[in-house]
Amino acid sequence: MEASSMRGRLCVRVTSLLMVLVVAGCGGSVGHEVSEDAVAIPGVAATPPMGWNSWNTFGCGVTEQIVRAQADALVSSGLAAAGYRYVVVDDCWQAPSRDPSGRLVAAPDRFPSGMDALGDYLHARGLRFGIYTGAGARTCAQLNGTYPGDTGSREHETVDAQTFAAWGVDYVKDDWCSSDADPSAQRSAFVAMRDAIRATGRPMVLAINPNSGITATDGVPGAVHDWGGVATTTRLTNDIESVWRSGQDASGYQGIADIADAARDADVTVGAGRWLDLDMLEIGVGDSLTAAEQRSHLALWAMAASPLIAGNDLTRMSTTTRDLLASTGIVAIDQDPAGAMARAVTSDGWTRARRLADGSVAVSVTNPGDQTETIPVDRSVVGADGTTIDVWTGREVAAAGQSITVTVAPHDTAVLRISRTV
């Protein structure tokens, strides 16, 4: 193992054992200095990908008209300028059968212009084109019986990667979709797609989900294996649900707090070209999440250096949703070039911190309970004694050296940025 990668993993383990923030002793290099041979697809995702995905709102009803309208809204709303540039067409875009030459084709009734034309449309607007495939013989919708056919990429990786490259694809979501959670089988499938993408010469993000359909009792693969070097982004848990807690075990749907719990314990190296994906954003999707929970959703994802992939209907979103997604200070933490993942600094795991590239420390303080709490932040633990700014408002919370306390509503998250003077 490369020295810098080993250093990152050692720092993670110290954090989980001692509950002492590693940024003070390890600096911004934790999880960031990864060698080129530890990156799945060179030249992509120097910071976590940001964009929009069709699944959470449109599912198998996605059409090219919908995608084009969402792309236009991404631009007109200012979210593209804020960094949300990947437009990912999820499952059910494809016809149920391949063409006579074995190539994937778009469903003609819903994508009559074809996927290459859709890619051109997105690129003309300064956006990037993402597409979905299954790592097995069938996609997830096909496996679940909600969409016909068996057009997964298993044993078709080479031709599918070539097809995607010809269409101008910039991002490939590769979904496991199987009840078999054998890590060696998963690795074989994902490596085959990785190598096929590399062979095309086109730098496409490879975003894998090793969790779909599995019923493992010892935790989902994304949480117990480090897939860095196999994929650009790796899903941590099973699918997200638009709730604070789902009440399901690790093989079921996961709420915001459930995924945040899993991220706290994740023992992986992240950095440029290899990110841990906490799943798509549920901000503005339905009305089951409170405003506080949506704020925590974005904040905790950003602190984890997770991809930020919106899933709401961009053509109908409220100004509140738009402003939250575009939160300048929170997005800046997610996109910070140091590429470090936040670690817990308190025994309950709900105060987390990460060293940023300028030497400051980002601190999130989440209140998982049902009553408003006033919570102290220990400067000696986070290793920063400078001025403290509330990232949500831009206001000063404490001058250098002053004690820090924050009042946090139920299920909300305060986010601080503390300059370092020590």
Asked if residues 130 and 87 have their Cβ atoms less than 8 Å apart, the reply is yes
Query: Residues 58-95: pLDDT tens digits?
Result: 999 999 999 999 999 999 999 999 999 999 999 999 99
**Does 2 have pLDDT greater than 60?**
no
The total number of residues written for the chain in this structure: 422
2: nearest Cα among 25, 30, 28, 34: 34
Residue 102 parent element (H or E): none
More confident residue, 351 or 14: 351
Interatomic CA distance for residues 240 and 33, integer angstroms: 30
CA-based torsion, 392, 421, 363, 81: positive or negative: positive
Out of 3-17, 163-177, 218-232, 333-347, pick the least confident: 3-17
pTM: 0.92
Q: What's the rounded mean pLDDT across residues 285-308?
A: 98
Beta bridge partners of 302: none
* Residue 398 DSSP label: E
How many angstroms separate the CA atoms of 32 and 130, rounded?
25
Q: Encode 84-97 in three state secondary structure.
A: CCEEEECCCCECCC
Average pLDDT over residues 361-367: 98
- Residues acting as catalytic residues: 175, 239
> Is pLDDT at 3 greater than 90 in this prediction?
no
pLDDT in tens, 35-51: 666 899 999 999 999 99
Among the listed residues 143, 39, 40, 126, the one whose alpha carbon sits nearest the alpha carbon of residue 91? 143
Among 382, 361, 370, 376, residue whose Cα is nearest residue 406:
376
The continuous run of DSSP H or E covering 105 comes out as none
- DSSP H stretches of helix in 138-267: 140-143, 157-166, 183-200, 221-224, 256-265
How far apart are alpha carbons 193 and 406 in whole angstroms? Answer: 47
* Average pLDDT of every residue of the chain: 91
- pLDDT tens digits, 109-139: 999 999 999 999 999 999 999 999 999 999 9
Of the listed ranges 48-52, 62-66, 183-187, 349-353, the one predicted with least confidence: 183-187
CA-closest candidate to residue 414, choices 331, 352, 323: 352
In degrees, rounded to 5, the angle at the alpha carbon of residue 242 between the alpha carbons of residues 236 and 247 is: 75
The SS3 assignment for 408 reads strand
Q: Is the pLDDT of residue 32 over 80?
A: no
Q: Which of 74, 81, 120, 130 is nearest to 277 (CA)?
A: 130
Asked whether the predicted pLDDT for residue 198 surpasses 70, the reply is yes
pLDDT at 218 over 90: no
Would the pLDDT of 27 be above 60? no
Is residue 89 within 8 A of residue 118, CB to CB? The reply is yes
Identify residue 321 by its one-letter amino acid code.
T
**pLDDT band at residue 317 using 50, 70 and 90 as cut-offs:** very high
pLDDT at 420: 85
> Is the pLDDT confidence value at 19 over 50?
no
Closest CA to 118 of 94, 150, 148, 154: 94
Instruction: Give CA torsion, residues 154, 152, 186, 203, to 10 deg.
Output: 90
Backbone torsions φ then ψ of 362, nearest 5 degrees: -90, 135
The answer, yes or no, to whether residue 6 has pLDDT greater than 50, is: no
Contact by Cβ (8 Å): 45, 233: yes
Tokens of 283: 């901000």
- The whole-number average pLDDT for the span 227-250 is 95
- Cβ atoms 411, 292 nearer than 8 A: yes
Q: Given a cut of 50, is residue 230 above it in pLDDT?
A: yes
pLDDT bracket for residue 310 (50, 70, 90): very high
Burial of 341 (0-12, 13-18, 19+ CB in 10 A): buried
DSSP structure class, residue 242 = S
Q: Which two tokens stand for residue 148?
A: 């016909």
| pLDDT grade for 26, boundaries at 50, 70 and 90 | very low
